[in-house]
Structure 1
Amino acid sequence: MIFFTPVFTSIDLDLILIAMSIMFFAGFVKGAVGFALPMLAVSGIGSMLPAPVAVAAVMLPAMLTNVWQAFRDGPRAAWDSFWAFRLYVLLIICVMGLVAPLVSILSTEVLFVILGLGVTFFAIVQLAGWRPGPVIGASRIAAVISGVLAGIFGGLAAVTGPPVVLYLLAREVPKVEMVRVQGVIFLLGLLVVISVHGSTGVLNATTLPLSVMLIAPAFGGMAVGLLVQDRLEQETFRKVTLLVLIVAGLNLLRRGLLG
């Protein structure tokens, strides 16, 4: 059954409903652990739709949930988080802006392989328990490497989280501050990427309405995730999330290599 509107003329209604369910789950995970919405959503939606469509669909839900995450403790706290990491944030934003146009140039297969490798690698690293220590966290080289990697994957699919999480862990940033900093970084980066994709055609008459439709499921999932955030055994939930991400990353690789 096809969902006929002026903008949806070729997307099956069943696929839209599945995409909404995927976005709800991705929002839940984001609410519970502070990241992973784009990784889960792009992987899941990308299993059904072309990579550029999946990337575009994630844009608005990711941006608006990051507004919530960044400003949950008020504008002053968000500003303080930005200022404390301003050079790191600006590096990520600049790289994201430079890389984002590649989404409209690279083939779907290449995009899936790049994203699959990145998601799988970072999830395995974190699941294995490796966390960079404070010596690495204090290194400017580590900040640059993390910022560039976050910018590359953020520009391709809003998947900024893993390099940022590892860097903030190395800096020994407290949990609440860490979640807020992630929200600020993801929000500002996505604002840049969305402005770029408005001109590249990735956000268009079909993908923009789809992205709008996925906002409500993302918010609903995130609200539930926030409610249970402090009640969950965080380490167990984190490991389960990482296992899901590994499966998601391998699925992206499968799509990129086998179609």
Structure 2
Amino acid sequence: MTGLANASPELILVSITAFLVAGFVKGLVGFGLPTIGLGLMTVFVGVEKAMVLVLWPAFLTNLWQGLLGGHLRALLQRLWPFLSAAVLVLGAGTLVLTRLPVGAADLVLGILMVAYAVPLLAGVVLTIPARLEVPTGVGLGLVNGVFSGLTGSYTVPGVMYLQAIGLPRDQLIQAMGLLFLFSTVALGISLGSFGLVSGRETLASIVLVIPTLLAVWAGQKVRKKVSEAAFRRLVLAAILALGLYLIPIGVWRLVQ
């Protein structure tokens, strides 16, 4: 993409639509913006440029979500081992991205999402006891960091971990925001260090903040009308949908 100002009207329309959809899902369930934005935009501009386009919308929406929930201090005290691990190894995932066949990471990520969501929607309860919260958090944080750098999506297995430790809805939303905020900053630094960030894509990313924020606001309005039990099922349904969305995209990219 050569920047929205120099893009075709069709590409501009596709970009705005993609970030409206991604922003609404983000506002509704607290995640999904990078996954949906990347999945849609990679078809038109390639995965590396799509990751750059997602940076500013992801950063600002996650800043909003992560800092303004009212539980910042408590969540940082509880989650810092997990969050630190997720950020520290993100660059390793970006390094792998530059060498892995396009589509492989999307395929693996999609399969993991489906494998996680289906049993839980069927009634299986996944919990992590308090005594295992820190070591499990570190291990899953490391995995999450690699996947984040590899795919630009911060969901797996981070959201799964935050659900399994039993955070209530408001804390879960803010905790996801913190994970995504720190991961977005680390991803931006990592992409820059590998020479994958250009001025034109960065400018386009800033422009796309406007439709994204409007869509997030609309999604949040809808979320307030949903009960906590329904919200948790909605999160699982969103993970399943994203997984089913990523699998064919991954296969399509691999065969191109």
- 8 Å CA contact 1:123–1:162 kept in 2: the answer is no
> Residue type matched to 2:218 in 1?
V
- 8 Å CA contact 1:30–1:36 kept in 2: the answer is yes
User: SS of the counterpart of 2:69?
Assistant: coil
Pick aligned residue for 2:57 from 56, 61, 81: 61
Structure-2-length-normalised TM-score: 0.86
Residues 238 and 193 (structure 1 numbering): CA distance in 2 closer, same or farther, change over 3 Å?
Answer: closer
Pick aligned residue for 2:246 from 246, 249, 258: 249
The residue aligned with 1:80 is 74
Number of aligned residues: 250
> Residue type matched to 2:175 in 1?
V
- 8 Å CA contact 1:136–1:170 kept in 2: the answer is no
The residue aligned with 1:170 is 164
The residue aligned with 2:45 is 49
The residue aligned with 2:118 is 127
Shift of 1:160: 1.3
Give the Cα–Cα distance (whole angstroms) in 2 for the partners of residues 4 and 256 of structure 1: 22
Give the Cα–Cα distance (whole angstroms) in 1 for the partners of residues 131 and 252 of structure 2: 35
Pick aligned residue for 1:92 from 67, 86, 90: 86
Structure-1-length-normalised TM-score: 0.86
In structure 1, runs of 5+ residues without a counterpart are: none
Give the Cα–Cα distance (whole angstroms) in 2 for the partners of residues 204 and 176 of structure 1: 36
Instruction: Please list the CA deviations of residues 34-56 of structure 1 after superposition, one character each: whole Å capped at 9, or x if unmatched.
Output: 11111111111112221111111
Instruction: Please list the CA deviations of residues 98-130 of structure 1 after superposition, one character each: whole Å capped at 9, or x if unmatched.
Output: 333444x235xx242212321332134213315
Give the Cα–Cα distance (whole angstroms) in 1 for the partners of residues 131 and 161 of structure 2: 6
The residue aligned with 2:188 is 194
- 8 Å CA contact 1:88–1:147 kept in 2: the answer is yes
Shift of 1:167: 0.8
Give the Cα–Cα distance (whole angstroms) in 2 for the partners of residues 4 and 197 of structure 1: 17
Give the Cα–Cα distance (whole angstroms) in 1 for the partners of residues 107 and 9 of structure 2: 27
Give the Cα–Cα distance (whole angstroms) in 1 for the partners of residues 131 and 105 of structure 2: 26
Shift of 1:136: 8.6
Give the Cα–Cα distance (whole angstroms) in 1 for the partners of residues 29 and 209 of structure 2: 19
Shift of 1:135: 3.5
Give the Cα–Cα distance (whole angstroms) in 2 for the partners of residues 211 and 4 of structure 1: 11
Residues 90 and 116 (structure 1 numbering): CA distance in 2 closer, same or farther, change over 3 Å?
Answer: same
RMSD: 2.5
The sequence identity of aligned pairs, in percent, is 21
Pick aligned residue for 1:13 from 9, 12, 20: 9
Give the Cα–Cα distance (whole angstroms) in 2 for the partners of residues 147 and 88 of structure 1: 5
The residue aligned with 2:105 is 114
The residue aligned with 2:211 is 217
Instruction: Please list the CA deviations of residues 35-93 of structure 1 after superposition, one character each: whole Å capped at 9, or x if unmatched.
Output: 1111111111112221111111111111110001012235xx32331222111111101
Give the Cα–Cα distance (whole angstroms) in 1 for the partners of residues 195 and 64 of structure 2: 27
Pick aligned residue for 2:21 from 20, 25, 29: 25
Shift of 1:171: 0.8
Shift of 1:95: 1.0
Give the Cα–Cα distance (whole angstroms) in 2 for the partners of residues 62 and 137 of structure 1: 33
